[in-house]
Amino acid sequence: MERPMLNHFHNYQEICDYLFAAQKAYPDLMKLKSLAKTGEGRDIWCVTLSKGGDPDSKPAFYVQGGIHAQEGMGITCSLNFLWTVLEQNAQILENVTVYILPCVNPDGSDLCVRSGLSLRSKLQRIDGVDNGIVPQDLDGDGKILFMRRENPNGYYVQLPECGDVLVPRRAGDKGPFYDMFIEGIVENYNGGELKRGYRDLDFNRQYAAGWVNNPNAGDFPGNHTEPSTIMRFLSTHSNIFMMMDVHCGTRALIYSVPGNIQDNRFFRNLAMLGNKITGIEAVAGNRYGKPSDVPPSNSMGTNRDYCNDALGIPTLTVELGNGYNSLGMAATEIFNAPLYERELISKIVAMHAAKGKTVAYPWKKVKHPQLGEVEVGGRDYHDAYFMDADDMLELLPKVADFFLQVVDMVPVLNFTHLTCDAVGEDIYRIRAGIVNNGQLYTRILHGATGYHATRDNIDFKLEGAQEILSRSGAESIKALESLDTAGAEWFIRAKSGDKLTVKATFPKAVNAVAEIIVP
């Protein structure tokens, strides 16, 4: 099975082709299921990787990418992790299940990869807006770029060092100056001032935890198929012990800052481990994207909020990076920089030009159906904003290594002792002890009160006895920290040679199962 092309943004058909090929190559390890159809009829594919047994009965590691339409390298990262597990680390699937949703938002992603459009998640037309521009390819080149019209009082100017990318003008600049708009048609045109005629919906503000009503968050939590599908999947899989949500903003490992001190330390240490392996900067969620002089605050209605708070699934947001990172800028430096200043734009243009790549297209005259003659061209946002695709060649294998390290942290229940002693005629005493040999607390989070966190005890079961005399066949044992132990005891009626089974089970842990032959 070939590795996915790492310095490449995959369109929907390429994603499907790769997943079908992987399933064909590894039919015993990989199952592919469509969780839902999008509004445009595309499948939201879920990959389940597991070896033997019921995948949903094992602790699970979950990875998703592509919820933001323009962030194509999150899809590439997810496909690369799929390849890394199947081709190089299939042994982990004996004890752990891996769920991968490589592209949560296939409609938006496919549009952005093909057209270069800047789009958060989904276009939604706003009815009744006069002079509202809606993105559309006007000249048939497959791209949705920008339109410009010359205006002596225009806000934008074209500079030689910035190529065909228009930048905000400054006092003293010499024209010509331009008005600039997204390439598209104008609905309800009456000759007035042009406006945005669409909402740029953000599916990562539509989760049912901390949701707030804003124009991009949808009309209610889970308003659209994509986020509601993810919420349904996560809420019905209590075996997920860790989640990685892969994005492509300013390069950072974004960790939550809960009030519980143990969980606070856990998230920070997890992000610092990722930093050590990948080189990606660890950034607290309430500081991400904020200049140093701005007070900390959290985004609302995000996947990280939903998983950590509503479900008790610890989640790290992996931001792979943008073009400013490719210039060598660190996250904190970017947060404090005037990002759209011409000096940075010129460096981005020069960086790509040195590699023979195009981040902007020459302006050409087009007859617009409402506006008359305009020029279409300028920045291909998809290629020009995000990090240089070649950076993925080095970064994505490191991210996969980090994910594997996290998988290795899973709670593991093992028996410390298991005895069967006769105490009377056909009466026996069974003693069993377990230890958590994993690196994580069996509940993972200490302060979580979400849906999955309400069940926090380990089930200890004895099966096969003719009669259990002392208590029921099931014990409830407290959650175990790493290397902590616990035990249980039963008095039973049995015959010599009877086969007994003892189980210690918890959804987020590798379970312990052993047999005893009555002496």
* Entry field: residues in the chain: 519
Coil, helix or strand at residue 123 = strand
Buried b (16+ CB within 10 A) or exposed e, 375-414: bbbbbbbbbbbbbbbebbeebbbebbebbbebbebbbbbb
d(C-alpha 398, C-alpha 276), whole Å: 10
Angle in degrees, CA 241, 438, 477, rounded to 5: 80
d(C-alpha 159, C-alpha 310), whole Å: 50
Does 65 have pLDDT greater than 70? yes
Q: Tell me how far CA of residue 177 lies from CA of 151, 166, 167, 351, 468, in angstroms.
A: 6, 9, 10, 26, 87
| Helices 73-88 and 12-25: angle between axes, nearest 10 degrees | 10
Does 350 have pLDDT greater than 70? yes
Higher-confidence position of 83 and 300: 83
Q: What is the pLDDT of residue 383?
A: 67
Here the contacts of 352-355 (C-beta below 8 Å, separation 24 or greater) are 352/383, 352/384, 352/388, 353/163, 355/388, 355/390
Tokens of 245: 């949500």
Coil, helix or strand at residue 164 = coil
Radius of gyration of the chain (CA): 27
d(C-alpha 68, C-alpha 79), whole Å: 16
Q: What is the pLDDT of residue 458?
A: 93
Q: What is the pLDDT of residue 341?
A: 86
Summarised one tens digit per residue, pLDDT across range 360-370 is 999 999 999 99
d(C-alpha 445, C-alpha 242), whole Å: 10
Tokens of 282: 């660890």
Across residues 190-196, what is the average pLDDT? 93
Percent composition of the chain: helix, strand, coil (DSSP 3-state, to 5)? 25, 30, 40
Under the phi-then-psi rule, with left for phi > 0, alpha for psi from -120 to 50, and beta for the rest, what region is 222? left
Across residues 247-272, what is the average pLDDT? 96
Tokens of 324: 């400013």
Q: Which of 43, 2, 10, 1 is nearest to 392 (CA)?
A: 10
Dihedrals phi, psi of 435, to nearest 5 degrees: -135, 145
d(C-alpha 199, C-alpha 207), whole Å: 18
d(C-alpha 106, C-alpha 15), whole Å: 9
Least confident span in 13-27, 96-110, 442-456: 442-456
Q: Tell me how far CA of residue 352 lies from CA of 348, 364, 408, in angstroms.
A: 6, 21, 38
pTM metric for this prediction = 0.96
pLDDT above 70 as % of the chain: 99
d(C-alpha 323, C-alpha 235), whole Å: 35
Tokens of 435: 């230890």
Summarised one tens digit per residue, pLDDT across range 386-435 is 788 899 999 999 999 999 999 999 999 999 999 999 999 999 999 999 99
Does 130 have pLDDT greater than 90? yes
pLDDT bucket at 298, cuts 50 / 70 / 90? confident
d(C-alpha 73, C-alpha 5), whole Å: 11
pLDDT bucket at 209, cuts 50 / 70 / 90? confident
d(C-alpha 10, C-alpha 77), whole Å: 11
Here the contacts of 153-156 (C-beta below 8 Å, separation 24 or greater) are 153/177, 154/178, 154/179, 154/180, 155/179, 155/180, 156/180
d(C-alpha 282, C-alpha 268), whole Å: 8
Mean pLDDT over the full length of the chain: 94
Higher-confidence position of 451 and 225: 225
Across residues 145-168, what is the average pLDDT? 96
